[in-house]
Amino acid sequence: MSNVSAAPDLDFWEFVNCGICHLEFVKENGTLSTVPFWLTECGHVVCNSHINPDHSCSECGGQGVQLMPLARELEPPMSQWFASAPTAFDAVGYALRFQMNMMANLLRYFRKKYIQYRPLYDRLKEEHAETKRLKKLVDELKLENQQLRQHLHINNGDERTLHSNKRRRVDEDVSYAGHRTSSPRSTASVPTPHGPDRLTLPPGHHPPHFNSRQSIQSYESAGSQQSIA
Ligand SMILES: [Zn+2]
Ligand SMILES: [Zn+2]
């Protein structure tokens, strides 16, 4: 069952060779080839004997490709091309574990906060709905209040006009009585007192002179007499 021996770690450098003559970059004894090797921009490996002087790739024919000397220590991303794939997967696995742990940690933190604040959130939601309802009510009441104020203002205006009209009529009647105006205006509410020119005077008698105070008194006495009668 589990008596299968684990495969030895694979070193990809063991298989790196010239794409044209298949000369190995790492010799059987583990030392590097004495012939320089080149890595092309297009991702091919060629030995020094098979580079083209016109800067084309001898393996794929790509034109104007750049070359860099091949070495066991390379800069990324080229270093990744030569890394052992299983080891690379281990690294990827480690990176995955590292990143997921951090995200899970953050997720747990926010989940805890969510559970902690959920009741508060529900309460705030209810209060927000209530606030909205009250705001609507306030708006309605404001409108109603405004309409009532307008209504009241119109009524007050009518009353004031009515009062001033009444006052004017009384003043006119009084002045009419005092100055014996020849063209009296008829008033419905206040009875017109008899003016002096209605008196029948004997020949040679002049009508008596009324000043304004007397005229008011005579007007008032005439009114009171009338109300008694
Ligand atoms: Zn070669
Ligand atoms: Zn190429």
- ipTM associated with this complex: 0.94
Q: How far is the CA of 21 from the centre of ligand 1 (A)?
A: 4
Adjacency order of strands within the sheet including 37-40: 45-47, 37-40, 67-69
Q: How far is the CA of 13 from the centre of ligand 2 (A)?
A: 19
Main-chain dihedrals φ then ψ at residue 164, nearest 5 degrees: -65, -35
pLDDT of 229 reads: 40
Please name which ligand lies nearest the alpha carbon of 70: 1
Q: How far is the CA of 83 from the centre of ligand 1 (A)?
A: 22
Q: How far is the CA of 54 from the centre of ligand 1 (A)?
A: 16
Map tokens 């091919």 to a residue: 44
Please name which ligand lies nearest the alpha carbon of 17: 1
Alpha helices in 83-211 (DSSP H): 85-179
CB 25 within 8 A of CB 19: no
Q: How far is the CA of 19 from the centre of ligand 1 (A)?
A: 6
Which pair of tokens denotes residue 176? Answer: 């009419």
Per the model's pLDDT, the better-predicted residue between 59 and 176 turns out to be 59
> Computed over its alpha carbons, how large is the radius of gyration of the chain?
59
pLDDT of 166 reads: 59
User: 24-55 pLDDT, tens per residue?
Assistant: 999 999 999 999 999 999 999 999 999 999 99
C-beta pairs of 8-12 under 8 Å, 24+ apart in sequence: 9/84, 9/86, 9/87, 10/84, 10/85, 10/86, 11/84, 12/82, 12/83, 12/84, 12/85
- Mean of all residue pLDDT scores within the chain: 80
Please name which ligand lies nearest the alpha carbon of 67: 2
User: 132-147 pLDDT, tens per residue?
Assistant: 999 999 999 999 999 9
